[in-house]
Structure 1
Amino acid sequence: MPTESQTPRERSPRRDSQPRRVTVVPGGPVLIEGPVELCLDDGTTVVSDRFQVAVCACRRSRTYPFCDASHRRKRR
Structure 2
Amino acid sequence: MSIDPQGPVLVEGPVEVVLEDGTVARSERFMVAICTCRRSRTYPWCDTSHRPREKPSPGDQVSDARAPSPVRATEQDRSCA
1:1-76 to 2 correspondences below 5 Å:
22-74=1-53
CA displacement at 1:73 relative to structure 2 = 2.6
Q: Point out the structure with max Rg over C-alpha.
A: 2
Q: TM-score, normalised by structure 2?
A: 0.62
CA distance in 2, matches of 1:45, 1:57: 17
Q: Distance in 2 between matches of 1:38 and 1:73?
A: 26
**Percent identity (aligned):** 62
The structure 1 segments of at least 4 consecutive aligned residues displaced by more than 4 Å after TM superposition are none
How many Å separate the matches in 2 of 1:36 and 1:66?
11
How many residues are matched? Answer: 53
State the Cα RMSD in Å. 0.9
- Equivalent position amino acid for 1:60 in 2: R
Partner SS, residue 63 of structure 1: coil
Unaligned runs of at least 5 residues, structure 2: 54-81
Runs (5+) with no aligned partner, structure 1 = 1-21
The TM-score with structure 1 as length reference comes to: 0.66
